[in-house]
């Protein structure tokens, strides 16, 4: 006797729709994290950190020390921001 009215197993989802929804969630998290800074300079720093964590080749392999020097921050401060990015986006290992 079937007593479960859950449509999870009876209605298959379109993989394209599901992929778009997941991509939208990722992009929203990324943009929200990058925009969560008080100044435009800090938003640029957050964008650089996001690129450093996801695609360092897009910033010519800059190190955290170089990113910190360019923005007037210490390597440790930049490292902490990178850790925050990884935790906020679920990239933490």
pLDDT tens for each residue of 54-70: 999 999 989 999 999 99
Does the pLDDT at position 53 exceed 60?
A: yes
pLDDT tens for each residue of 24-37: 999 999 999 999 99
Domain-by-domain residue ranges, the chain? 15-89
Orientation angle between helical segments 64-71 and 40-54, nearest 10 degrees: 170
Confidence of residue 13 (pLDDT cuts 50, 70, 90): confident
Q: Which two tokens stand for residue 20?
A: 């778009």
- Cβ 50 vs Cβ 82: under 8 Å: no
């Amino acid at each position: 006797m079937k007593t479960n009215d859950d449509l999870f197993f009876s209605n298959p989802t379109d993989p394209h729709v599901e992929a778009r929804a997941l991509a939208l969630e990722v992009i929203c998290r990324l943009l929200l994290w990058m925009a969560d800074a008080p100044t435009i300079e800090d938003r640029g720093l957050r964008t650089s950190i996001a690129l450093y964590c996801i695609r360092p080749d897009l910033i010519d392999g800059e190190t955290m020390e170089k990113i910190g020097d360019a923005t007037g921050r210490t390597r440790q401060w930049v490292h902490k921001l990178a850790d925050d990015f990884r935790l906020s986006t679920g990239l933490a290992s």
